[in-house]
Structure 1
Amino acid sequence: MKKLVLVPLAAAALVLVACSTEKPGTPSAVPSSPAPGGSSTAPTTSGGADPASIDPCALLGVADLASYGTFKAPVPQDDAGARGCEFTKEAATAADAVTLGVDIRDKQGVDSVADSGNGKTTGKVNGRKAVLVPKPPSGCLMALELGASARADIVVVASDPEKACGMAEKIADIVEPKLPKG
């Protein structure tokens, strides 16, 4: 039983160290006009956009996950008050399996993220308020603030909770710039 207690505590300590530091950089407005050469550098959603207009499947692509292996095409989902998009890794073994989701919660802010028993860590991702919560036995949630009452969730389920939280943090770095600034 002690071993089960130590793993979540070690994961929580690792998460605390990894999430408590603000990411370097200065948040900036998204350009509204095309960049030189005629192509737009604006993300899928523009600054000030209504969270209800965000397409969760447009925030992350299979190519963004290539460093983690081969993932199947995303599957749109609506579940538990969130509009989401689920990605599943093509894994040879159960130990290598990873499922992740990007969910938009239009009526739940980061302050409503519940502790699952292993604590929750608040921090920032590119200047945006974020909450990281280990979800025993093998998952992790990273919530990114979209406003006082809306958020984007990145949920990762893997065989190792530390791996799941590390992956959630890296995916947050990919998703965050595509979210509306508020």
Structure 2
Amino acid sequence: MTKLFVRVVLPLVAGGALLAGCTSTQGGTASPAQSPSAGDSSAPETSASAGGGGTESISDPCTLIEAGDLSSYGEFNPPVSKKLGTARSCSYQKKIASASDESIVVGANVRDDASIDQVNDTGGGVVDKDVNGRKAREASGGSVAACTLGLAVGASRVDVVVTTVSSADQACQIAEAVAKAVEPRLPKG
């Protein structure tokens, strides 16, 4: 039964937790992001003015979480990049060596069309946070062992999402630690 839970049920719960941060669609007209000039050798910066979201410059969400960010939680499989609704997502699943190993899934969801004000309550409430001086909002899974920590990037956000077997509190502790490593890699804005 434990193996069934770890191999079948937990990945389904993890997928549900990753989708929990999804928001409703926003009306409006899409327009292309402005690219930096050819002479600009610094990292791209964006702002929330003129409807700019800020996350458009993140071409690969898998660049936001590095293996070293997760090493204290065990060994993880290579990242999996995919689209979850409108979010560009990258997730890492902990390697399970035995049935007694705890499963952990850590992901980064880039949400070009959602702000931190749109972080959904997934059962445990939503709390304002500060991560390295950046505005953030955390949604604990309540009875589900999951946590979403949305980091503001202009009018957009990047979610650090964690699902564990143990508890939502443990998931939020891991999400906060990973978010502190992710935050410096985000565009300013």
TM-score (norm 2): 0.69
Structure 1 residue 52 corresponds to structure 2 residue 56 = yes
For the Cα contact (< 8 Å) 1:85–1:101, is it kept in 2?
A: yes
Matched with 2:110 is: 104
Letter aligned with residue 120 of structure 2:
A
2:135, 2:100 → 1: CA distance? 34
Match of 1:66 among 60, 63, 71: 71
- 1:72-91 equivalence runs, <5 A: 72-91=77-96
Matched with 2:10 is: none
For the Cα contact (< 8 Å) 2:162–2:174, is it kept in 1?
A: yes
- Listed as ranges, the gaps of 5+ residues in structure 1 are 1-31, 34-41
For the Cα contact (< 8 Å) 1:120–1:131, is it kept in 2?
A: yes
2:101, 2:75 → 1: CA distance? 15
Give 3-state SS (helix, strand or coil) of 2:62's partner.
helix
* Cα shift readout 1:64-86 (whole Å, capped 9, x = no counterpart): 21111000110111112100101
- 1:1-182 equivalence runs, <5 A: 46-48=44-46, 50-54=54-58, 55-91=60-96, 92-93=98-99, 96-135=102-141, 136-148=143-155, 150-160=156-166, 161-182=168-189
- Listed as ranges, the gaps of 5+ residues in structure 2 are 1-39, 48-53
Give 3-state SS (helix, strand or coil) of 2:174's partner.
helix
Give, in angstroms, the shift of residue 46 of structure 1.
Answer: 3.3
Q: CA RMSD in A?
A: 1.9
For the Cα contact (< 8 Å) 1:82–1:103, is it kept in 2?
A: yes
- CA 1:143/1:94 → structure 2, altered by over 3 Å: closer, same or farther? farther
Letter aligned with residue 44 of structure 2:
S
TM-score (norm 1): 0.71
For the Cα contact (< 8 Å) 2:81–2:89, is it kept in 1?
A: yes
Give, in angstroms, the shift of residue 116 of structure 1.
Answer: 1.9
2:45, 2:70 → 1: CA distance? 25
